[in-house]
Structures are given as C-alpha cells and as structure tokens.
Chain A
Amino acid sequence: MKEITNKIQEIATRLFNEDQVDVFLAWEQTGEEYRVKPYFARSAADVSNIVFNEYCIHNLSTSLLKFRDGSDRIGLVVKGCDSRGIVRLLEDLQIKRERLYIVGVPCTGMKDPLAAARNQSGFNNKMQTIDIARKCLDCIQPNPVIYDELIGPENPPLLQGERFAKVKEIENMSADERYQYFEDVLSTCIRCYACRQVCVACDCRTCIFDEMKPQWVGRETNVTDNMMYHIVRASHMAGRCIECGECERVCPVNIPLMLINQKLIKDVNDLFGPYEAGMQYVEGAKPALSRYDEKDPDDFL
C-alpha cells in the first residue's frame, strides 16, 4: 500500500507541475488507519497529505459531481467499481472525458472504515470482523475499466461462489413472504437519503424526492412512504447501478440495498441484455434502459 501511495503522490505531483490538473481527488488519513476521507488536493504542496491504504473504500467518482458545472481539470484515483462510476457519469453526459486524468488502482478488496469506526465506538453489541468489506466480496470487476494510467498488475475478481445467490433465495419466496420481508426491512429506513447522496448514479440535478411542487413521495417515515422511496430509488437504478456498494455500506440502519440493486442488475441482464452497467466506455453509449430496441420484451405492457 505504501508503494501505491508513493506512486499516486508521484503522479499527482507530476500532474500539478506539468499543469495538467487543477485538483486531484484521493484520500487523506486523519487519525487511526481507518480514519480516511476523500481529499481534494489543489496544488503540489498538498500532495504529501495523500494516502492510499486498505480503508480507501469511498467511491471518488461521486465527488466528480461537485465539479460538473466548472471547468477544473480533475485528476482522481479509482478502483474497479469507482471506475465504472466514471463510465456512468460519462454516459450520462455529466462530465467530459477531456477534463479527467484517471489513475487506476487494481483492487484486492477493501476494508470498511465505517465498520471499523463502529467497532471502536462502544455502540456495537457484536464486533464486526474487519476483513474484506461486504461489498467487495461481491466484486466482479476489481480492475479499473477506464484509466489514463494504471498502478500495478491486474487482479482476479473477488466474487467467490454464485453471483445473485441471495437474490435467488428471495425470488424463491412466495409473494406474501417476499412482501413481508421487504415490509420488515424497509420499515426501518430513517430516510436520511445517504444512499442517494453517496451514489454516483444518482446524478439528477433535481431529485424527485426533493421536488415539492408537486411532491411525488411523502416524507413520513412509515411503510407506505418508505416503500415508495425505495421503489422509486430502485427503479431509477435499473441498468444504471454500477454495483459499487456504497449505498448499502453507508446506510445507518443496515438496509440490504444491494439485494434490491442486484435483483435489478440480474433482471436487466436477463430481459434486455446481455448487459452489465459501466464496464466499458464507448462514446455515445447509453445504459440499457435509456434506449429503445424493437426486440425489447413488452409482454408485461
């Protein structure tokens, strides 16, 4: 990891010195090893603050949305999943490729700083093992899919065993059982919208949940409004979620958001595929459900 940090610092210094970027997005360590946060370096003098360690799990491509209206040239570090986020933003025309200098780091699986913070908090009844983060165990693409420079050799996918196993388990429930399952888990949502805020695919300028005239989704925390929130959020992710797992990781009440996302990933692939979101950038390409094809299934209409 130290080598990767050095390499990133070297690249960032070079980019600032050659005046190729105005800002460089990476991570900074602020305390114990797990206390890392996104860091926006603005000059070569800032570069020494940059770190890369196994807790650098945050998807920095989401931070690009903070720059979409400017003209800053941005350097950033991405892992496999994060790089798919960049593809999402490019396909969604949120930022121009020319403005980016992408430094790819093939990933060996990250640790979750939130889980570590929780273990240290005294709030937990059971210690979580701080091994590889949950989301990384489902990873099919640890290697960046788009980059200007790659640090280190590529790694094999982390996913072991069957993809979508949990989804299939839920699919096999009866409709009533399934309804009950989702009612149970979704009724605990506190509607903090953190799952939306950390999501790179949630790039709408005005989010439907913030619309007040008219208000589409009620703000009460009850089963009805919570379900409405989750159904809308999920359907907006269909064909667009790049499976970075950040939404589920940050949820303060442990809602299994990836289960919902993975169901959509599976269905979009089955019905409209073969399709895997954000696996490569082809100029002008659109997510599966953003274009129409005569062969698209429509028997549910």
Chain B
Amino acid sequence: MKVLSKQRLETALNKLSEAAEVFVPMQKGGQSGFFSWQSFKNEQDELMLDNLNVYQSPKGVVLPQTEKMYGIKTQGVEINIDQVYEDDHPTLIFGARACDVKGILAMDEVFLTRGYEDNFYKARRSNNVIIAHACYTPGDNCFCYAMEVNPVDPAGADVIIRDSGDVYVWETQSEKGEAVTAQISDLLEDKDVKLPELGSFKIDVDYTGVAEKLKTMFDHPLWDKISEPCSNCGICTYVCPSCYCFDIQVKMWGDEGYRFRAWDSCMYEEYSREAGGGNPRGAAKERFRQRFLHKLEFFQERYGTPLCTGCGRCMVVCPNDINIVRIIDAVKEAEVND
C-alpha cells in the first residue's frame, strides 16, 4: 500500500498548495475549523489532524459563510449586472471526517440535482477535491453509523487517508484523487502497515423508521416540551456540516452595489419572515421543529437520506443541552394517535 510519512506531511501540504488552496483542520486563536494552509502560522496555529474533529465544519469551503454573487449598476430605471463573482479557484479539503464529507454530499444533492443547479456552488465544487480521514476511534458524541455514514470508508472522498502510527495510508478513490496523488507521488512510499480496528460507538441510537413516524408528528405535544430550553441561538446550524440555508441580500452605495449570500438559520425569526410581515414560523417552537424535521424527515423524503450526518457537533456546542440523539429516541418512544 501507499503511505505518506507523517514527517512529510507539511511538505505534502506545501506541495498540494501549489495547485489548490488547501484547507486543513486547525486551531486558530479561539477558532477551531478548516482554514487555509497558506494562513498557517507556526507560532500561533495548531494542526488538528490528530483530533477527532474541529468545531467548524469544512462546508464553508464550498459554501462560504458570505459569498459575493454579482455586481450591480443602476442607471435611471435600468439595472445592469456588471460582474458575476463565480469563484472556481481550485480548493482541496485535507483531512475531513466521513460525517463532514457526507455533509458536502448532501449539499451536492441540494445545489446540483433535481433540475436545479446553483452556478456559484457548482463553480466551487467542480474544482474541489476531498481528502477524507478515516475514523477508527469514534468520540463520545459520534453516531454517524446510524445516519448512513461509514466512518472507515468515507463515501464521496477523492483520497482516503488512514492513520497508522507514523504514517498515513494513502488510498486514491477517484480520478480527481489520482491527479492529487500524482502531484505528491515522490513523497509517497510503498509499505505494508497494519490498520487499526474500528472502536465502539458510545451512542446507541437507531434512526430506522424515524422519518416515517415524524410524518404523523407535526402537531405532537413533544415539540413543546423539547423545544422549551432552546434559545434559538443558531449555533447548531452554523457548526453543522450539512445545514445549508442562506439568505440573499444586497448592498448598495448610490447607484452601485452587489448582491451576496450569507448563511442563515431556520432558528431565526427573521429567516422565515415574509415581505408582508407575516411569519409562518413565528413561534420559537415552530423554528425548532423545522430544524429537526428538516434533518430527520423532509430531507429523507426528498433525497432518500437524512440531513443529519451524526457528527455530534450540535450536542457539544448547544448552550442548552439540546441533543438530537435524545430527540430521535423521544420520537421513537412517542405515542401517536392516528
């Protein structure tokens, strides 16, 4: 098998950075997320490949939190679009876990299928390569196995790396992956190493049947109870690898300006407020329910897979201990009268 010695990791990242902007898991000051390797500063940043994961998922690489769309000039009643900011510069995500790769696959469904293509997403994603990092030691909050994710063999990866002591086993998975492998081929060695065994998951949860059952539970009293502690802050949606909702807004200075999109959250009142002032999800409970129904029911209905990838982030960052696993359990246990 091909392996990359860990001592050569930085050289490999430098080399890969010649052809693409490489995003790696890092601790950067108070932030923990995927950041550009070019921005890495030895004195203050720390590479986090040895950690289970980082707080901010890599989704921002293909769906940036703020993204300029096009420039506008007005002349009288005429409106001209004078520039389109499609960004197709090559990017490479290095070391994403299977759950996070699944998040990007879910976004692919949304932005590239069902007769609808988002040009901005497409431009980025077509020039994006994913090097996934196989997991052998699930963390306390991981439950990807229950959400159609295989932690050891991440679907959708162009290359999979596997930690085996001093080296990463390097497995090419796709054509795009081959190009990347070729780029650093002089750093790879042939060596047979032993791969670790997948450890056990601490969370025991079963998603089977949950989407179907939820169809009958829109008005179930359970939502009142479980949404009570939530403060509708939206942290969970921003750290989630698969939450993709955005808002399109405009900035104008006189007769010039631009449109941009920015992440938005179903947890916010303003997100579902309509132009006329009405709001179909005016109550906090309704917004809370939307998040979990979207994750566990609606996406499954439309795309045949859940929108939660089991990464466990929301359960770590929620200030009010809202826990999606407990919600799945509660749904399974709930009594429904039909």
Which residues 32-80 of B have a CB within 8 angstroms of A?
Answer: 32, 46, 48, 51-56, 65-66
Which residues 230-288 of B have a CB within 8 angstroms of A?
Answer: 231-235, 237-239, 247, 249, 251, 260, 262, 265, 268-270, 273, 284
| A212 interfacial by beta-carbon distance below 8 Å | yes
Q: Which residue of chain B has the shortest Cβ distance to A206 in the bound complex?
A: B269
Do B238 and A121 touch (CB < 8 A)?
A: no
| A66 interfacial by beta-carbon distance below 8 Å | yes
Q: How large is the interface on A (under 10, 10 to 19, 20 to 34, 35 or more residues)?
A: 35 or more
Do A121 and B262 touch (CB < 8 A)?
A: no
Do B270 and A210 touch (CB < 8 A)?
A: yes
| A204 interfacial by beta-carbon distance below 8 Å | no
Do A250 and B235 touch (CB < 8 A)?
A: yes
Do B229 and A123 touch (CB < 8 A)?
A: no
| B30 interfacial by beta-carbon distance below 8 Å | yes
In the complex, which of the residues A124, A193, A221, A254 contacts B66, with contact meaning CB atoms closer than 8 Å?
A: A221
| B209 interfacial by beta-carbon distance below 8 Å | no
In the complex, which of the residues A66, A188, A193 contacts B30, with contact meaning CB atoms closer than 8 Å?
A: A188
Do B51 and A123 touch (CB < 8 A)?
A: yes
Do A222 and B66 touch (CB < 8 A)?
A: yes
Which residues 281-334 of B have a CB within 8 angstroms of A?
Answer: 284, 312-313, 315-317, 319-323, 326
Q: Which residue of chain A has the shortest Cβ distance to B319 in the bound complex?
A: A250
Q: Give A252 to B317 CA distance when docked, in angstroms.
A: 7
Q: Given A37-B321, A123-B52, A125-B27 in contact, is the A197-B232 Cβ separation under 8 Å? A: yes
Contact with B along A120-138 (1 / 0, CB 8 A): 1111110000000000000
Q: How far, in Å, is A114 (CB) from chain B's closest CB? A: 6
Q: Give A219 to B263 CA distance when docked, in angstroms.
A: 9
Q: Which residue of chain A has the shortest Cβ distance to B231 in the bound complex?
A: A197
Q: Give A215 to B262 CA distance when docked, in angstroms.
A: 15
In the complex, which of the residues B265, B316, B323 contacts A123, with contact meaning CB atoms closer than 8 Å?
A: B316
Q: Give A220 to B251 CA distance when docked, in angstroms.
A: 10
| B183 interfacial by beta-carbon distance below 8 Å | no
Q: Give A35 to B318 CA distance when docked, in angstroms.
A: 11
Contacts of B54 in A (CB 8 A): 123
| B228 interfacial by beta-carbon distance below 8 Å | yes
Do B269 and A210 touch (CB < 8 A)?
A: yes
Taking Cβ atoms with an 8 Å cutoff, the residues of B that contact A are 27-32, 46, 48, 51-56, 65-66, 139-141, 228-229, 231-235, 237-239, 247, 249, 251, 260, 262, 265, 268-270, 273, 284, 312-313, 315-317, 319-323, 326
**Besides A218-B249, A219-B247, 19 new A-B residue pairs in contact (Cβ under 8 A), listed by A number:** A35-B321, A58-B319, A118-B316, A121-B53, A121-B140, A122-B139, A123-B51, A123-B54, A123-B55, A123-B313, A184-B29, A188-B29, A188-B30, A192-B238, A193-B233, A210-B269, A210-B270, A220-B262, A252-B235
> Could you list some 17 contacts between A and B, CB below 8 A?
A30-B323, A37-B321, A37-B322, A40-B228, A40-B229, A63-B229, A66-B284, A117-B315, A117-B317, A121-B52, A122-B52, A192-B237, A198-B231, A198-B233, A220-B251, A221-B262, A252-B238
Taking Cβ atoms with an 8 Å cutoff, the residues of A that contact B are 30, 35-40, 58, 62-63, 66, 113-114, 117-118, 120-125, 184-185, 188, 190, 192-194, 196-198, 210, 212, 215, 218-222, 246, 249-250, 252-255
